[in-house]
Amino acid sequence: MMGRRLLLAMGALAPAAAEAQTKTQTPPARPRFYAKGTKQRAVRFAGSEGVTLAGTLLLPIWSELEKVPGVVLVAGSGPTDRDGNNPLVPERIDLLKQIAEVLAEAGIATLRYDKRGIGASTPKPSGSLAEQERFFAWDNFVGDVAAAHAELVQHDEIKAYATALLGHSEGGLLVLAAAPTIKTNPPHVLVLVSTPGRPLVDILRAQIARGAPRLGAPADRVIAAIQSTGHVPSDVPLELDALFPPYAGPFLQSLLAFDPAKALFASRLPCLLVQGAADRQVVPMDDVQPLIDALDKRGAPGEAVIVPSASHNLKVAQWPTDAGFAGPIMPAAAAALAAWLKQSLGA
């Protein structure tokens, strides 16, 4: 079923894949006189519906001499900032920051940004619930991804004809939704990291069944209300507050109905899937297989890389219940991202 598109990453890449990369896919080495290192630029740009988004453009230092490919990095769910950190998680994750550094070493620029309501971007409105619901609507988050891509390509160092969207977890869903809306200087490839292949309604129910079975019936009631009304009911059990904040009704209504496998199947863009084999949030292969199937059936270029012992954040999971938040990205994941994007974008 997975066919030739599924690679099991061992070390850097699977041995056969690594050999193929070396023989046929590795671009010529950068001339020696190009200095190593990076330069960083703070950016602020207009997002959807009047919001200002704040971000970081990280460039190879030699991009002053030669244009480079560029990638927009899109964070996952919750109050996750441009670096991939979440105040609800006690450990520092830095996933997006680390991905940006890996890609800069490979000659690829990245733009990562604080989502609306987070970090240095426009804060959550303090007005009515209706105002907050509009602010956090799904279409606005999708529009913000498109706005970030427009910001990326307007920088002189970026090859506007060699760009990508990379989303982590829920960010991968936003990438799938945003890519077909970008008509001017559209992205050329997609990267989905730890992205669910089933609709979120199925993922949520499975997560609750695994972690708190007694909340299954209350969660089903809340989900049904959101699906039918577009609003979070006022009597959400305390234990489910984090999953269903009061202002998230319109966002969740759209997200619960979004089918990522269907969206990927409809896309003609080359796509890389990177998934940790020890992910406890997006569970291999139940949650990932629909994306792999869509990748294989759609008739467009793509690869899926499963990284042994990697967590949802592509960090090493040292024991079965380890969430794998801290530490560096596993070398196999870093190598897969860098090699595929270098080949696909011509870095």
Please tell me the predicted confidence (pLDDT) of residue 18: 37
- 211 in the same domain as 194: no
Does residue 23 lie in a domain region?
Answer: no
- 289 in the same domain as 241: no
CB-side neighbour CA atoms (13 Å) of 128:
3
Does residue 12 lie in a domain region?
Answer: no
- 148 in the same domain as 92: yes
0.75 exceeded by pTM: yes
- 253 in the same domain as 264: no
Domain region containing 191: 36-198+260-345
Residue 30 has pLDDT above 70, yes or no: no
C-alpha distances out from residue 255 to 201, 225, 277, 293, Å: 8, 14, 25, 21
- 223 in the same domain as 236: yes
Specify the number of domains making up the chain: 2
- 113 in the same domain as 184: yes
Does residue 138 lie in a domain region?
Answer: yes
State the CATH number of the domain containing residue 180. 3.40.50.1820
- Given a contact cutoff of 8 angstroms between Cβ atoms, the answer to whether 344 and 21 are in contact is no
Average pLDDT, the chain: 91
- 211 in the same domain as 191: no
Report percent pLDDT > 70 for the chain: 90
Does residue 54 lie in a domain region?
Answer: yes
Does residue 206 lie in a domain region?
Answer: yes
Please tell me the predicted confidence (pLDDT) of residue 312: 97
**pLDDT tens digits, one per residue of 297-344:** 998 999 999 999 999 999 999 998 999 999 999 999 999 999 999 999
**pLDDT tens digits, one per residue of 59-111:** 999 998 999 999 999 999 999 999 999 999 999 999 999 999 999 999 999 99
ω into residue 285 within 30 of 0, thus cis?
yes
Residue 21 has pLDDT above 80, yes or no: no
- 288 in the same domain as 268: yes
CB-side neighbour CA atoms (13 Å) of 339:
23
